[in-house]
Amino acid sequence: MTESAGTIRIAPEVLATIVQLTARSVNGIRAMAETPHGRLLNRNTPESTRGVQVRVRDNAVQASLYVVVARGANMVAVGNEVQRAVIQAVHEMLGMTVRGINVYIQGVE
C-alpha cells in the first residue's frame, strides 16, 4: 500500500541557486554575468541567482546561464562542462528532467 504524504514544491529561486552554484563550481568559470534584464520572476535578482534564468514546464527544467570564463580557457569545453554538471545536479538533487541548458559567455577575465 502506497500513501501520498503530500506535495513537494521547490521555489524557482532555489532551483536557480542550485544551477548557479553548480555552474560556479566548474573549472574555468570566473563569475556569473548579469542576465539580460537582471530580474527573476519580475523581482530584483539576488546575488545567489545572478546570471541564471530558469523556467519549469511539465516538471522539466530549462535554464539560461550567463557566465564569465577564465582567460585562456577553452570556452566550448567550459560551456559543455557547465551543461553536463547542471543537468546532473538538477537530476540528482531534484529528480527533474532537464529540457535544455543554454550557456552564454559574456566575458573573459
DSSP state of 59: T
- Mean of the pLDDT values across residues 66-75? 97
Under 8 Å between Cβ of 61 and 15: yes
84-95 pLDDT, tens digit each: 999 999 999 999
Is the model's pLDDT at 102 over the cut of 70?
yes
> Which domains does the chain possess?
12-108 (3.30.70.1350)
> What is the predicted pLDDT for the residue at 7?
85
18-47 pLDDT, tens digit each: 999 999 999 999 999 988 765 555 555 567
